[in-house]
Amino acid sequence: MNKFSRKALTLMTMFGALASSTFAQSAKPFKKDNLVIYRIGDMHSGSDINTYNACPIYLDEYNILGEKPVLVQSIGLPAKTMGDNRRIVALGKDVWSGWISLSNDGQSIAIPGYDAGLGTEIANKPAESVNRVISVIGADGNINSSFVLDNAFNNNAFRSAATFDGNEIWAAGGGGANNGGIFYLKKGEKNAVNLGGISFRQVKFYDGSLYACENTRVYQVGSGRVTEAPKKFINLTGEPTFNDGTSFTIVDMDQTGTNPQKIMYYLTYNNGITKYSLVKNKWVANGVYKDIAKGNAIEGKVVDGKVKLYIISSGNDRGGDGKLIEVTDNSGHGLDMSASSKLLLKSAENQTFRSLTWAPVKK
């Protein structure tokens, strides 16, 4: 290798290590109705994407109005600590982590991750030595990675994060009593408050209430800012008919705000999408759409009287297997699911998709 080649390789390596922080500095404001995909890995990740090692996190914003998604921008999260902003990385292989969510006010996104160096093994490490980190990115593209948990999900997975308005954090993950479940964290503090539960996957806000799903059920944790452990999590989906739930989304078919027609779609890893309609304050099952495999995350919206669902599908054994799939539910509120699907996008080599949400916008 000549002198020029060695210099070029060194610069490429430095770029790979710094990409997350440099991209963040040039982020543009998000655009309404765009999708944001939580991507793990880049061209430098190599075999790390197939292991439980730390990989870089990117938020890829896509315009989905046309026939095919158009990449608007890629925002790298900090791979190095800079001031109050901690570095934040993701597990390469773990499909049971990495759920992002839109804030209740729609103006920011909460992103879960770990404070660790790229390429280091981080799975199930003590929370005190490998802090769990939440990054909040605003509608303007500015990143705040100063939310840190050092007492949650000890020796277990940190799976998802939510925020009401960007100033407080709710986090979900695995672990036993007082160590797993759902935690609440005030800005500027590290010692989070345990709200209960043992093992949850996705946590998110919808219409002023906090919801969470685990392996078999979706729960309403509480209304508004839930800062203390509730007496009971309200089971919305009843007795389970599967055991690998991953993600959920709630939409309202009524666009006027006068006659709510709420529908919930509960995604599973290998058993498709179960549809529920809210009828007289009870969620009633409306069938299953099974033509989805390895379902990780789901978001939805009402378009021309139909529900458009966007699914992230990815395996846990290699990079390049992330997919963005569009599913259209042609039925309506209270009717059995009648759907069709199409593939929109695939991840590149040494990369995968893990979750998604709608772009935040200022109001």
Question: For residue range 119-171, what is the model confidence (pLDDT) as tens digits?
Answer: 999 999 999 999 999 999 999 999 999 999 988 999 999 999 999 999 999 99
- Which CATH fold would you assign to the domain 3-358? Neuraminidase (2.120.10)
Q: Answer whether residue 250 shows pLDDT above 60.
A: yes
- CA-wise closest residue to 286 among 273, 277, 298: 277
Radius of gyration of the chain (CA): 20
Q: Under 8 Å CB-to-CB from 11, ≥6 apart: which residues?
A: none
Q: Give 62's pLDDT tier (boundaries 50, 70, 90).
A: very high
Q: Answer whether residue 261 shows pLDDT above 50.
A: yes
Q: Answer whether residue 22 shows pLDDT above 70.
A: no
- pLDDT reported for residue 18: 42
Average pLDDT of the chain, as a whole number: 91
What is the spatial distance between Cα 95 and Cα 234, in angstroms, rounded to a whole number? 26
- pLDDT reported for residue 24: 46
Q: What percent of the chain has pLDDT over 70?
A: 93
CB 351 within 8 A of CB 103: no
- pTM metric for this prediction: 0.92
Q: Domain residues of the chain, as ranges?
A: 3-358
Question: For residue range 266-295, what is the model confidence (pLDDT) as tens digits?
Answer: 999 999 999 999 999 999 999 999 999 999
Q: Give 257's pLDDT tier (boundaries 50, 70, 90).
A: confident
Facing residues of 181 across strands? 173
Q: Answer whether residue 3 shows pLDDT above 60.
A: no
Per-residue pLDDT averaged across 317-329, rounded?
Answer: 91
Collapse the DSSP code of 302 into the 3-class scheme (helix H, G, I; strand E, B; otherwise coil) and give the result: strand
